Amino acid sequence: MNYVFDVDGTLSFNGTSISAEITEGLKALEKGGHHLIFASARPIRDLLPIVPEFRHNLLIGGNGAIVSQADTIKVMTPIATPDRDYLKALITHYNLDYVVDGDWDYAAHVSPDNLLIKQLDPDHLAHNVPLEQITTAIKAILLGMSEQQLERIIRLVNDHTNLEIVQHVGEGNLDLTAQNINKANTLALLGIHDYIAFGNDMNDVKLLSQATTSFWVNSKSALLEQAESFAHTIVAPDKVAAVIHRLG
């Protein structure tokens, strides 16, 4: 069986590591003959440091925009050039904080007190380059916006681009990828249709809703009511290791 795991808020609760107990459970699943896939909002560059013992597994990054398969990185669908240029104009006009990921390097302007900062290239594998140097953009995050800014930016993006939007409830952040890019669609493109999935956030909704069995990790209480409509099982963060061990 294929097991697909989101990482942040699902397996990792500090943004930098996965506990030894959860890691042991994951290894037990593999020893039982199951295939482990990690599907994250992080680009591959930032996913590798948090799953070092599974770096050779299938890794899906950028909410499905990029994959590492057999240690080969492949961009699935980049943001179209007109959409990329429109995003750059929005960032400049509204003076937004952002991370725009290329296929490896990135352009970023992030407040030092933003929690994302500790997840951004933690192993210094890439370079933070000027925004105009990102010619192949796979994903953008617009950060720290007020509710009023969010409404305005969402409206503008919907009106002027074909981008896929994921809004993180209560965080003031938007994830933007090419049209129809999400974790579930990328799994389908890779020929993977039957899987058990674990997730915790809005970018996992399609992944979990199409899974054979889904586990929602309740690390964001504001989303619990929505999770109850499609997740088979709600799991408290401190019970994740036990659930994985039981499955193994």
Q: Give the start-to-end residue ranges of the domains of the chain.
A: 2-76+182-247, 81-177
Residue type, 130: P
Residue 69: predicted pLDDT: 95
81-177 matches 2-76+182-247 in CATH topology? no
Residue 165: predicted pLDDT: 95
Over residues 13-28, the mean pLDDT reads 96
Residue 248's nearest CA partner among 34, 51, 58, 37 is: 34
To the question of pTM greater than 0.85 for the whole model, the response is yes
Over residues 9-35, the mean pLDDT reads 96
Please report the sign of the dihedral spanned by the C-alpha atoms of residue 145, residue 148, residue 149, residue 152.
positive
Residue type, 85: D
Q: Which of the following CATH numbers is that of domain 2-76+182-247: 2.60.120.700, 1.10.3720.10, 3.30.70.20, 3.40.50.1000?
A: 3.40.50.1000
Cβ(145)–Cβ(153) below 8 Å: yes
- Provide the pLDDT confidence category of residue 224 given band limits of 50, 70 and 90: confident
- Provide the pLDDT confidence category of residue 206 given band limits of 50, 70 and 90: very high
Pair of tokens at residue 242 = 């036990």
Residues above pLDDT 70, as percent of the chain: 99
pLDDT over 80 at 226, yes or no: no
Over residues 122-129, the mean pLDDT reads 96
Looking at domain 81-177, its CATH class is alpha beta
Residue 137's nearest CA partner among 102, 96, 181, 89 is: 102
Provide the mean pLDDT of the chain.
94
Q: Among 16-20, 96-100, 210-214, 221-225, which stretch is predicted with the lowest mean pLDDT?
A: 221-225
Query: Where do the DSSP E strands lie in the chain?
Result: 2-5, 35-39, 58-61, 66-69, 72-75, 97-101, 106-109, 139-143, 164-168, 173-177, 195-199, 213-217, 233-235
- Provide the pLDDT confidence category of residue 232 given band limits of 50, 70 and 90: confident
